[in-house]
Amino acid sequence: MLPIVAIIGRPNVGKSTLFNRLIGKREAITADWAGTTRDRLYGECSWSNYNFLLVDTAGLEIGKKASLDLDIQEQIEVAINESNLLLFMVDAKAGITDDDLKAIRKIRNSKKPFVLIVNKCDNKNDVIGSAEFYRLGTTTIAPVSALSGLGTGDLLDMVIKQLPKSRTSKKAEDSDVINVAIAGRPNVGKSSLLNSLIKQDRAVVSDIAGTTRDTSNYTFTLNGKKINFIDTAGIRRRGKVGKSAQGANPGKIEKYSVLRSLNALEKAEVVLVLIDAKEGVTAQDLHVLNYALDKKKSIILTINKWDSVEENDITAYLEYLNRKITFLSFAPVIFVSAKTGKNVQKIYDQILSVYNSRFNRIKTSELNSLLLADIFKKSPPAMKNILPKIKYISQVAVNPPTFVFFTNHPELIHFSYHRFLENRIREHWDFTGTPINILFKQKSG
């Protein structure tokens, strides 16, 4: 599981700007007025070969009528409780405020380790002036400018020193276990499918969306092969998190679930993405699929509640899926009913198939013999009056399969040709259900 690091601070100190800077993407909306960030944002950050999940939070307001909804403030509580490390941000220009004093007391009460970040240190005088913040009772501060990037490298060095040292998601003794996440939006039948797969009522099943509040694991041995099923809470689009859930304090519970579900996907090699056959593919389903694809997980599209569809026309439904999910043609599709058990046991064969495809390794001689022939028939298109030439191909990794194409001009390879090469690889070799990494590297001569 990836360690979790949350950025905490009062409104308008620059949390979202730092978040964007550290993950290297403009994911969070930034503005000069307080309260722009309402929902928590998650992004993966990498530094010195160490990866962690970074969380951007709304402005922390304590002991007064908050300008943001109470629900938004609860999200900050969730981030604090779930995190391995807190980044407490203050504003160098504003100095120490009463809200900073209240916030530092709250952070100390959480018993979580933290790094004090003094933002908006845009010059040497600001860095020198940041010493004022030692009055908050910490022995180390990190003066930074989130806007320009000043000091962020030193900050990241401090962060990874305080995170768990283990960087692997699998223990060595568990290397023969296939981790399979059962993922999908709320109420598509994830827990029912788990029960049907393991043939016992381990997971709580309910018709109320959001019943599963945490991830649960069950290791099942089939023909000597261990499969660890991970039943995740329903993943919903960020704007929908916390809405329409049932039970005591449901919104807060669901927000915990999202973080845990994301980490469950991180742990898995194979993801069963469940889709409600009757409701069809929704925006939330596409959101779940994109999570899995971003992490390069093998995917099995599992159409659940097939017994509820009046016209069980598989051919027509497959055509519908191809129209709705154009980017996932390599994923196998299985039609099941978790309720009746129909086709559920066939999932095991699919799991073994897509898992094995993650470890397919093609001989270099075979790669070059077949693919260079395809490339000769259809060369990369010329760009800027220059014709890129691919001269050599090598598979450099498995899990997921990664191929390097050596070319004289890697920067000129168009993304459409990237798709052409992936299609040729899949035509020649079996990589069912598994994303393929294709890289282009410089080769002179």
Which of 195, 235, 192 has its CA nearest to residue 218?
195
Phi, psi (deg, nearest 5) at residue 60: -80, 125
What is the band of 68 on the pLDDT scale with cuts at 50, 70, 90?
very low
Tell how strand 41-47 and strand 50-56 pair up. Answer: antiparallel
The helix/strand count (H/E) of the chain reads as 12, 15
Whether 270 and 245 share a structural domain: yes
Residues 153 and 16 in one domain: yes
Average pLDDT in the chain: 80
| pLDDT-above-90 percentage for the chain | 40
Residue 116: which domain range?
A: 4-161
Q: At what angle do helices 283-294 and 250-267 cross, to 10 degrees?
A: 40
Would you state the structure tokens that stand for residue 267, as one six-digit string?
A: 């742990």
Mind listing the pLDDT tens digit for each residue in 350-384? 999 999 999 999 999 999 999 999 998 998 888 87
Q: Pick the range with the lowest mean pLDDT from 95-109, 204-218, 411-425.
A: 204-218
Residue 381, sorted as left (phi over 0), alpha (psi -120 to 50) or beta, turns out to be beta
Using a 10 angstrom Cβ sphere, with 0-12 exposed, 13-18 middle and 19 or more buried, the burial of residue 110 is middle
Q: What is the pLDDT of residues 413-444, one digit of tens each?
A: 888 898 999 999 999 999 999 999 999 998 76
The answer to whether the CB of 120 falls within 8 A of the CB of 126 is yes
How many domains are there within the chain?
Answer: 3
pLDDT classification of 148: cutoffs 50, 70, 90: very high
Please check whether residues 399 and 424 belong to one and the same domain.
yes
**Mean per-residue pLDDT for 48-72?**
69
* pLDDT over 80 (residue 67): no
Asked whether residue 24 is domain-assigned, the answer is yes
Tell me the sheet residues that pair with 115: 87
Q: Kindly state whether residues 32 and 96 are assigned to the same domain.
A: yes
Lowest mean pLDDT among 180-184, 230-234, 312-316: 230-234
CA 29: distance to chain centroid?
19
Among residues 35, 55, 102, the alpha carbon closest in space to that of 256 is found at 55
Which of 199-213, 269-283, 405-419 shows the lowest mean pLDDT across its residues?
A: 199-213
SS3 (DSSP) at 232: coil
Q: Could you tell me if 34 and 114 lie in one domain?
A: yes
| Residue 390 located in a structural domain | yes
Instruction: Confirm whether 166 is domain-assigned.
Output: no
Residues 215 and 331 in one domain: yes
3-state DSSP helix/strand/coil percent for the chain, to nearest 5? Answer: 35, 20, 45
Question: Is the pLDDT score of 121 beyond 60?
Answer: yes
Query: Is 25 among the domain residues?
Result: yes
Q: Based on the domain organization, do 191 and 305 belong to the same domain?
A: yes
pLDDT at position 5 is 92
Angle at 370 between CA 421 and CA 445, to 5 degrees: 75
- In terms of domains, do 199 and 147 share one? no
Q: Kindly report the CATH number assigned to the domain that includes residue 143.
A: 3.40.50.300
Whether residue 202 is found in the same domain as residue 316 = yes
Q: Which of 26-30, 100-104, 337-341 has the lowest mean pLDDT?
A: 26-30
| Residue 305, domain member (yes or no) | yes
- What's residue 172's pLDDT? 35
Q: What's the predicted TM-score (pTM) here?
A: 0.59
200 and 152 assigned to the same domain: no
Q: Is the pLDDT of residue 72 over 70?
A: no
Q: How far apart are CA 317 and CA 339, in angstroms?
A: 20
CA atoms within 13 A on the CB side of 55: 34
Whether residue 177 is predicted with pLDDT greater than 90 in this model: the reply is no
Is the pLDDT at 64 greater than 70, yes or no?
no
User: Is the Cβ–Cβ distance between 423 and 434 less than 8 Å?
Assistant: no
Give residue 216's pLDDT: 58
Task: Kindly report the CATH number assigned to the domain that includes residue 433.
Answer: 3.30.300.20
In a domain, 285, yes or no: yes
Residue 103: which of 77, 140, 131, 84 has the closest Cα?
Answer: 77
Q: Residue 65: which pLDDT band, with cuts at 50, 70 and 90?
A: low
* Same-domain check for residues 142 and 100: yes
> Quick one: 298 and 272 in the same domain?
yes
| 167 within domain boundaries | no
